[in-house]
């Protein structure tokens, strides 16, 4: 039987990974500017705006389930950003290294979304559809990031 109630913990995990993504791309903007690659800023800002929109769509679903939307990030995301800074500095400002790290962040994002869909019995059909739409949009962004990396 299909549930009309959504598990707020699953939804908050999605919000947290979006918060991670926002923080990661803000860091990427700073690192790109340090490397004299400010032209990449527009692309990174698009990804930030995309995650902000995703959070905006998910927040009411968390609240309907009786909880507050998280404003936190995942610990793994915080550690990843620290590694991104260290690796970028060691690589001497290599933009390709920065973009590869951004790609890893996109892969982590995708895994959290896939996990949420795997737990679909704890989500309504409408929310599963929303998650699938967001995942599809993220995949397009990830593909654009790969193209940017390979240029």
In whole angstroms, what is the distance from residue 147 CA to residue 135 CA?
Answer: 18
Nearest to 39 by CA among 28, 49, 48: 28
Mean pLDDT of 86-112: 81
pLDDT tens for 9-61 read 999 999 999 999 999 899 889 888 887 877 788 999 999 999 999 999 999 99
Is the alpha carbon torsion for 119, 125, 130, 133 positive or negative?
Answer: positive
In whole angstroms, what is the distance from residue 151 CA to residue 149 CA?
Answer: 6
Mean pLDDT of 132-141: 95
In whole angstroms, what is the distance from residue 29 CA to residue 96 CA?
Answer: 14
Mean pLDDT of 78-106: 76
Nearest to 143 by CA among 110, 111, 95, 94: 110
Asked whether the predicted pLDDT for residue 97 surpasses 90, the reply is: no
Mean pLDDT of 74-100: 72
Put residue 3 in one of left, alpha, beta given phi > 0 → left and psi -120 to 50 → alpha: beta
User: Which residues have C-beta within 8 Å of that of residue 108, sequence separation ≥ 6?
Assistant: 17, 20, 76, 77, 80
Question: Which residue's structure tokens are 């699938």?
Answer: 132
Which range has the worst mean pLDDT, 39-48, 70-79, 108-117?
70-79
Res 74: pLDDT? 74
pTM exceeds 0.75, yes or no = yes
Res 137: pLDDT? 95
Mean pLDDT of 120-124: 91
Asked whether the predicted pLDDT for residue 2 surpasses 50, the reply is: no
Residue 1 and residue 56 in contact, taking contact as beta carbons nearer than 8 Å: no
């Amino acid at each position: 039987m299909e549930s009309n109630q959504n598990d707020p913990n699953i939804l908050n995990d999605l919000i947290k990974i979006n918060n991670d993504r926002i923080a990661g791309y803000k860091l990427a903007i700073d690192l790109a500017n340090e490397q004299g690659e400010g032209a990449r800023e527009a692309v990174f800002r698009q990804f930030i705006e995309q995650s902000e929109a995703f959070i905006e769509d998910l927040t009411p679903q968390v609240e309907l389930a009786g909880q507050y939307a998280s404003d936190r990030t995942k610990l793994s995301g915080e550690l990843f950003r620290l590694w991104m800074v260290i690796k970028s500095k060691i690589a001497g400002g290599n933009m390709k290294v920065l973009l590869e790290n951004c790609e890893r962040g996109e892969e982590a994002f995708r895994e959290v979304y896939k996990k949420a869909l795997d737990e679909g019995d704890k989500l309504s059909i409408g929310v599963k559809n929303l998650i699938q739409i967001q995942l599809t949009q993220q995949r397009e962004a990830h593909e654009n990031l790969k193209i940017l990396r390979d240029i």
